Structure 1
Amino acid sequence: MEAYMQVDTVYRRLRELIVAGEYPPGERLTETAVGETLAVSRTPVREALRRLESDGLVHGVGRGMVVTVLTPDRLGHAYAVRAALETLTAELAADRQRTGRIAPIALSDLERDARRLEDVTAAGDLDQAIELNRRFHRGIAELACNPIALEILDRLWDQIIVSTRASLAPPERPETVASEHQDLLRAIVQGDRTLAGQIAGDHARAAKATLE
């Protein structure tokens, strides 16, 4: 049990470092170097890297692992799946709201995150904006109560952020993004599954378009 907990800790920490850009796409990761950085032996690092490989965040090259970057084609596929899943989770969240199965505090938390995201985006804090944007969309997926959709979205978000972080810039029209978030929240609060799904899907596709 202790060994498993150590592997899980190393996995989570290494995943955080990769998603945060501390290990950029294309960087080679060796068990020895990562072990020295995290002050652990090679064994938990080896197991953590295998898990990250199954997540699509690293891949084997020779005797080591390299942080994966999605090709333009695969990035397009990832965004297409993200748009479909976020359409689904927005619809499910609206359904649950309409039938009274979402606590008001959960919606208040999302509204708070949306406001904070507006503030940090306006301040030009791109790293925090990326984190808050992901938390906002993950919050909607959590309201949907579909654990499989949430798990897949988490993996997609990791892969997309790792592959696009270096090319991201503050949105040219941050008020548009903020307005879309508010419209999405409003549709969910109103229990309008059709409108919520449409806004969520269009929002994800618009995010992809900014990279083209």
Structure 2
Amino acid sequence: MSSATPESRDRIYRSPMALIGGFLLLVIIGWLGFDAVVSGSGNTPWFALATLLLLVPLVIAFTLRPAVFANHDRLRIRNPFRVIVLPWGQVEMLRSGFSNEVLAKSGTKYQLWAIPVSLRGRKKAARQTARQQSGRGPSRGLGLFGGGMQMDGLGGRTPVPEGPTRAETDQIMDDLGDLLEARGPAEASQGEVSVRWAYEIVGPAVAGAVLLLVLAVVG
């Protein structure tokens, strides 16, 4: 059974690009919705309010909300509509393809929304590796996540590994895989998988959709 207090602080993985995009979308939606509520006539303000009630939670769900939290005991995945907690002892493997996923020992797989695969990042990493192997040295720059996706819970940065250059999200999956290998058999890493629906997101979005439907029917 897992311990009540984690042995280490969480490492937090999020996408800065998603955060920036979500903030900009919320500003635009909020500005347009407020203008419609204030200056609209007839049912327009009600349609605007219903649209805001629907869109704002969805934008938050897919941009600001996704995050992955990892410590010595468990992996916690905050996806758009669910929060999944997997003790390392319940994780079968982590894998990357067109998306990054964690496979539980029960056979259920969960996508890591906060750590999207970047094919562009992989191509860039391959070019950097080719430069290193040709003796021209590494090419430095900001990756898909702006070089700031991972925080180790202590304010430090993960050292850049030697050898072939890896795309940032691939390196993060490697780090999580190392944590799984090291902590999977530990007694504190055992327990049950828990899944919780994000009703704070689903509820307002469903209410907004229902209100829009009612307004459309009533006219």
TM exceeding 0.5: no
TM-score range, shorter chain: under 0.3
More helix by share: 1
TM-score by length of 2: 0.27
* Structure (1 or 2) with the larger CA radius of gyration: 2
Which structure ranks higher in relative contact order (CA pairs < 8 Å, sequence separation ≥ 6)? 2
More strand by share: 2
